[in-house]
């Protein structure tokens, strides 16, 4: 599915290095079939946020300048890309002002989920852009449905256009081209509404029958009628922090359980082994007689389809809960 991508290029100079990076990102995204709009702040009038906070109630800014149109576009985009020159190891002032002025979006039904950061600077090294990304992440933290999906940095470029031939241009192109793939693998979310969109096999009902063997709330959505097809498939959803107790699937032959991860991110752990990250597309074959647990990460909803592998004399042994300290340290 193509995405609506808004690239905001914040350098004010002509033949800007960070803008050339943004243009490469744009070419990659267009090649992948996305809808892309690139706006530059070069010709825009932008005033500082006054801090009146009336936008929290009205979702409109009291200042009437060129920001309002950009903020409207930000609200509708699925992907936001910010490009900036590094100024004193930070994002440039006009980008920071734009982020402040985007405050009317705070309570709004904004659509952006993936955010990319693009920067250029005279010096090389991670320390040159780290504080700028940190600043942007502060903003992203306040827009909980979104997350930082990628960073491209070009160091060692000072004069306008000096970036020509720089390897970072290719990286920006590839990042633009691969937006869809990255999105598929970043489904961690605390936001129930966002998770519900991902959880295509449905939440179902509270899992009351097994609640005593779970920490936190889980839900069960039966997908098949075992009387008709002989196999009971159910989508199991775990709220953030929810996991089942250690347990063992017994069988005299065959048996065990299969998990097909469908939404969000979680954990699976066998006794004596390191935990394995669960995300959509991962399939776990749990052998019989192996003590294990599974559930959500502490900071994400998670769901998987579960079904018992056919076997003889199958039964389930529930053991102790997963230790809080060990779980929270994951
Ligand atoms: C006010 C100002 C501050 C700057 N601070 C830094 C800095 O802290 N570190 C750095 O490596 N380059 C710094 N630079 C250089 C720019 O980051 C560099 O020229 C960059 O490529 C400009 O990007 P642009 O062409 O997209 O505007 C600074 C430039 C200016 C004008």
Please report which confidence band the pLDDT of residue 182 belongs to, taking 50, 70 and 90 as the band edges.
very low
Residue 159 Cα to ligand 1 middle (Å): 9
- Do 170 and 213 belong together in one domain? no
88's CB contacts (< 8 A; 6+ apart) are none
Please compute the mean of the pLDDT values over residues 104-133 and round it to a whole number: 95
- Do 140 and 10 belong together in one domain? yes
Q: Choose the residue to mutate in 25, 88, 90, 132 for probing ligand 1, maximizing ligand atoms within 8 Å of C-beta.
A: 88
Of 164, 184, 204, the one marking the end of a domain is: 184
For residue 105, the cross-strand partners are none
108: left (phi over 0), alpha (psi -120 to 50) or beta: beta
Per-residue pLDDT of 43-92, as tens digits, reads: 999 999 999 999 999 999 999 999 999 999 999 999 999 999 999 999 99
CATH number at residue 274: 2.60.120.10
Number of domains in the chain: 2
Per-residue pLDDT of 222-269, as tens digits, reads: 999 989 988 999 999 999 999 999 999 999 999 999 999 999 999 999
Token output for 305: 């389809």
Write phi, then psi, for 20 (nearest 5 degrees): -65, -35
Share of the chain above pLDDT 70, in %: 98
Sign of the Cα torsion 276, 280, 285, 286 reads positive
User: What domain range is 231 assigned to?
Assistant: 192-328
Pocket flag, ligand 1, residue 164 (CB < 6 Å): no
- Do 212 and 146 belong together in one domain? no
Residue 104 Cα to ligand 1 middle (Å): 30
- Do 238 and 119 belong together in one domain? no
3's CB contacts (< 8 A; 6+ apart) are 29, 34, 35, 78, 79, 179, 180, 183
- Do 90 and 208 belong together in one domain? no
Please report which confidence band the pLDDT of residue 186 belongs to, taking 50, 70 and 90 as the band edges.
low
CATH number at residue 147: 3.40.50.360
As a whole number of angstroms, the distance between CA 44 and CA 42 comes to: 6
Percent of the chain as helix, strand, coil, to the nearest 5:
30, 30, 40
- Do 255 and 145 belong together in one domain? no
User: H or E segment at 229?
Assistant: helix 226-229
Of 141, 161, 184, the one marking the end of a domain is: 184
- Do 125 and 157 belong together in one domain? yes
Of 184, 211, 238, the one marking the end of a domain is: 184
Residue 87 Cα to ligand 1 middle (Å): 5
Residue 277 CA to chain centroid, in angstroms?
15
As a whole number of angstroms, the distance between CA 8 and CA 72 comes to: 13
- Do 156 and 239 belong together in one domain? no
**At residue 281, does pLDDT exceed 80?**
yes
For residue 245, what is the DSSP state? P
- Do 161 and 208 belong together in one domain? no
């Amino acid at each position: 599915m193509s995405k609506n991508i808004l690239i905001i290029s914040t350098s004010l100079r002509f033949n800007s290095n960070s803008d050339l990076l943004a243009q490469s990102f744009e070419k990659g995204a267009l090649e992948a079939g996305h809808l892309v709009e690139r706006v530059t702040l070069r010709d825009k009038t932008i005033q500082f946020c006054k801090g009146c906070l009336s936008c929290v109630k009205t979702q409109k800014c009291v200042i009437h300048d060129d920001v309002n149109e950009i903020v409207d576009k930000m609200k509708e985009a699925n992907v936001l890309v910010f490009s900036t020159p590094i100024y004193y190891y930070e994002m440039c002032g006009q980008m920071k002002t734009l982020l402040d002025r985007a405050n009317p979006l705070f309570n709004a039904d904004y659509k952006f989920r993936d955010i990319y950061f693009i920067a250029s600077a005279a010096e090389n090294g991670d320390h040159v852009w780290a504080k700028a990304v940190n600043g942007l992440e502060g903003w992203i933290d306040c827009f909980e449905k979104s997350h930082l999906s990628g960073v491209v940095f070009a160091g060692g470029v000072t004069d306008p256009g000096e970036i020509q031939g720089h390897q970072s241009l290719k990286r920006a192109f590839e990042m633009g081209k691969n937006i869809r793939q990255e999105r598929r693998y970043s489904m961690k979310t605390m936001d129930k509404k966002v998770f519900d969109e991902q959880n295509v096999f449905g939440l179902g009902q509270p899992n009351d029958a097994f609640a005593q063997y779970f920490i936190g709330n889980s839900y069960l959505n039966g997908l098949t009628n075992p009387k008709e097809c002989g196999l009971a498939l159910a989508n199991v959803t775990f709220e953030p922090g929810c996991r089942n107790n250690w347990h063992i699937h017994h069988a005299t032959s065959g048996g065990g359980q299969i998990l097909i991860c469908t939404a969000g991110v979680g954990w699976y752990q066998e006794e004596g082994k390191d935990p394995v990250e669960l995300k959509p597309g991962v399939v776990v074959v749990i052998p019989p007689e192996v003590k294990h647990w599974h559930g959500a990460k502490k900071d994400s909803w998670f769901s998987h389809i579960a079904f018992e592998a056919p076997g003889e004399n199958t039964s389930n042994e529930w053991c102790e809960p997963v230790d809080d300290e060990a779980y929270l340290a994951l």
